[in-house]
Structure 1
């Protein structure tokens, strides 16, 4: 088993070691460096008559040493750790066993039955699970590596592919595409607006689900929509 693969009964949680190291060490170190830099810069900022937010910088500069530096390091480490834990919670976690795949992000989980999954691959930063008719069961962005995912999925008997077998079928969407029915064009038009306006991407994700019900697979590239039909 590769580092970062955590067995849980028959299931395997894909969680590369590099990601955990960055959460537990990288974020705290970055936080400490940032706060220490602010601490060192505080006297200089206070000396500038036009500097904004002089009050907080005066307070930071007034803390006697070595307590000021010790406090800065401690605050940076704790703040970085908290930020890292929150960021990791919102990252994609993948649990694979012989019967199902569970995709978890934050407090939301989605379970896919093994029998419905025809193939699995990584498309850029997106983990994609295809059904038997080349429909997309899931397309989720994440920071997981192809090697760690491939090892786990293959170990549990899933068909892992090195690339998207349908990539040549995607075409760029333009309004009123003649090869799509009016309902699909309307949904893609609404999704284009959602991509421009929505910061969370929830509307675009919901519209992707509606398009899937019509047999239309859509993905985004450089803020443009590309589509294909499921077989």
Structure 2
């Protein structure tokens, strides 16, 4: 049996290494810098957060320097870890597409994918009913994504969303939506306001099952209905 031929699109190793090493170094430098000026800030009667700065200034050397560098490096590692968790990897093969992010895999059979395109910094997979199977933010190279899909025979839309003119702005109580869609969009608007990306993504999938495609611009929601291409 022949091995599956897969094209993987991911952030360059150099960029990943830069984040993994650079963030801890930057964090260490920033916190050490704050430690260095703690005594000066503590002497300013009008400066905020006098208590923490006085506390830091009272720590004897070399423990103040060692502690500040260690704390900064740990904070940098946390940020680098979050970046790694949010990193998107795209695997394209003749039989389908896989999207990997944060340890989660989303698989789409070839028969379900009608096309792919970029909408700004988001990768979009279109379904055969004109709905969106996926809309994922990324920091990948557009030319590498285009090449991956085209290599395996998928339709790549250089001009972006072919249905962009069908979107209408959502307001509460909008007519022409399927039953239940207005309620979901209202809850999703609140999730966007709170910057709850997980809840907004889950509600997007709920709306998709109702035949509603939704996207947002500056937390304003726009919608259109799916339709069969057959």
Q: TM-score range by the shorter chain?
A: 0.7 to 0.9
Deviations 1:74-100 (CA, angstroms, capped at 9, x unpaired): 654454244313321222222222222
The residue that corresponds to 1:185 in the other structure is 182
The residue that corresponds to 2:87 in the other structure is 91
- 1:20-169 alignment, distance < 5 Å: 20-48=16-44, 51-53=50-52, 54-59=54-59, 62-64=60-62, 76-77=72-73, 79-162=75-158, 163-169=160-166
What secondary structure sits across from 1:127 in the alignment?
A: strand
The residue that corresponds to 1:10 in the other structure is 5
Deviations 1:95-140 (CA, angstroms, capped at 9, x unpaired): 2222222212213221111221111111112111001221111111
After TM superposition, the score normalised by the length of structure 2 is: 0.81
Number of positions where the alignment pairs a residue of Structure 1 with one of Structure 2: 219
Compared CA separation, residues 48 and 176, structure 1 to 2 (3 A): closer
The residue that corresponds to 2:226 in the other structure is 230
**Deviates most, 119-128 or 96-105:** 96-105
The residue that corresponds to 1:212 in the other structure is 208
After TM superposition, the score normalised by the length of structure 1 is: 0.81
Q: Which runs of 5+ in 1 are unaligned?
A: 1-7
Compared CA separation, residues 188 and 85, structure 1 to 2 (3 A): closer
Tell me the distance in 1 between the aligned counterparts of 2:192 and 2:64.
46
Compared CA separation, residues 24 and 48, structure 1 to 2 (3 A): same
Compared CA separation, residues 188 and 46, structure 1 to 2 (3 A): closer
Tell me the distance in 2 between the aligned counterparts of 1:12 and 1:58.
56
The residue that corresponds to 1:200 in the other structure is 196
What secondary structure sits across from 2:140 in the alignment?
A: coil
Tell me the distance in 2 between the aligned counterparts of 1:190 and 1:78.
36
Contact 1:45-1:57 within 8 A present in 2 as well: no
Tell me the distance in 1 between the aligned counterparts of 2:17 and 2:156.
27
Contact 2:11-2:139 within 8 A present in 1 as well: no
Alpha-carbon RMSD across the aligned residues, in angstroms, is: 2.7
